[in-house]
Homo-oligomer: A and B are copies of this chain.
Amino acid sequence: MLELKHAAPAPDGAVRPEAASGVWVPAATPFRANLAIDFDRYIAHCQQLLADGAHGLAVLGTTSEANSLDLGEREMTLERLVKAGVSPLQLLPGTGTSSMGDTVRLTRHAVALGVRGVLLLPPFYYKNVSDEGLYAYVAEIIKRMSDKRLALYLYNFPQMTTVRWSPALVGLLLQDFPDTIVGLKDSSGDEDYLDTLLERFPGFAVFPSSESLLLHGMRKGAAGIISATANMNVAGCRALYDGWQGEHALDLHKKASAIRAAVSPFGWIPGVKAILAARGGKPDWARVRPPLDELSDQQKTDLLAAVDAAST
């Protein structure tokens, strides 16, 4: 790890990777009884997702409980994936923290590994911050990185951060850093916000966070999705992505949306993990890190019944 942290600057001729598109899965992170990451299970899950049709993995985001991992665990997660043979170009890790320095550390590490890009949360401790303050934050990160390989995807999730990448700010960042600001993941679920971005910034790689917005999004120029429930229905998401212009598009949309809707009342993270636990016959897949709560046995039973009903 130490060598990577102090990695040399980008090699001569280094270029920014092509923008991501398709179905990217925010892979859930399994934990052992002592709450350490179960890397064997994690890597097997990630490889299965890719085998089942994921275009890539948006690892270390909210669904991955990345903000409950320490900085070293976040770095090690990427290193283990690459060491296991996952192409860095199929990785779009979250590197945002509440602090600029820690964010630069994680971003530098990820870019040195050759990832497709990084998902950047706004700094999420201080509230009621201005667009000017957020602009200064992003500009300073880009300056400190000073690396042509850097591809930034803004990560919008106001329900968690209470801080939003406003369309006006996105426009300003795109204008001033056209070689670095590549896309945005929108977890707000706000269709107006999504439409505004898609209409105002053609070619900007926007990913809604739900397969229920995939068909709508693709019709308006979205790049794909990054969805928690793709952890347990990647094939359905991929079929919809591949078939959105085909005659079965609406059926595929309804099917994938119904499965997602069945998980929603249980909470994405404990819900997705409980399903992975049941399907794999590995009950401890359901474990989450505090402050999150694992589902109760009754909730797990109800969740599985709801997903089964939606899947038939």
Contacts and interface: CB of A to CB of B under 8 A. Distances in A.
Contact of A137 (B100, B123, B134, B290): B290
A251 interface: no
A207 to B, nearest CB: 20
B163 A98 contact: no
A interface, over-half SS: loop
A70 B71 CA distance: 11
Q: How many copies does the complex hold?
A: 2
Interface string A57-79: 00000100001111111000000
A156 B207 CA distance: 35
Given A133-B290, A290-B134, A102 B162 contact: no
Given A68-B126, A125-B68, A159-B127, A293 B132 contact: yes
Given A140-B35, A162-B162, A126 B291 contact: yes
Contacts of A16: none
A269 B38 CA distance: 41
A34 to B, nearest CB: 10
A264 to B, nearest CB: 14
Interface residues of A, number: 40
A123 B291 CA distance: 7
Interface of A: 35, 62, 67-73, 97-102, 105, 122-127, 129-130, 132-134, 136-137, 140, 159-163, 289-293
30 contacts: A35-B140, A62-B125, A67-B125, A67-B126, A68-B98, A68-B100, A69-B101, A70-B99, A70-B101, A70-B102, A70-B105, A98-B124, A122-B291, A123-B290, A123-B291, A125-B160, A126-B160, A126-B291, A127-B159, A127-B160, A129-B292, A129-B293, A130-B291, A130-B293, A134-B290, A134-B291, A136-B290, A136-B291, A162-B162, A163-B291
